[in-house]
Amino acid sequence: MSKNYYEILGLDKTASDDDIRKAYKKLAIKWHPDKNLDNKVEAEKKFKEISEAYSILSDTDKKQQYDHF
């Protein structure tokens, strides 16, 4: 099962580049492992998912490929 990067960032497919950036920053701050010392394992997992989603959706070519499939 493939990951839904839009869902991870809490966005829909019509999200603009600015919306993607804002959602990433908000979630990255919320789930950063240094901010979640009491739940570091889950925070690291979520932070990696968020970073992966952002790396795909913030790159125009990667986003077009992702949206195509």
pTM, two decimal places: 0.89
- Distance, in Å, from the CA atom of 25 to the CA atom of 44, rounded to the nearest integer, reads 15
- Distance, in Å, from the CA atom of 43 to the CA atom of 60, rounded to the nearest integer, reads 27
Count CB-CB contacts under 10 A for residue 9.
22
pLDDT digits (tens, 9 = 90+) for 20-44: 999 999 999 999 999 999 999 999 9
Q: Is the pLDDT of residue 69 over 90?
A: no
- Provide the pLDDT for residue 2: 67
**Closest to 24 measured CA to CA, from 6, 3, 1:** 6
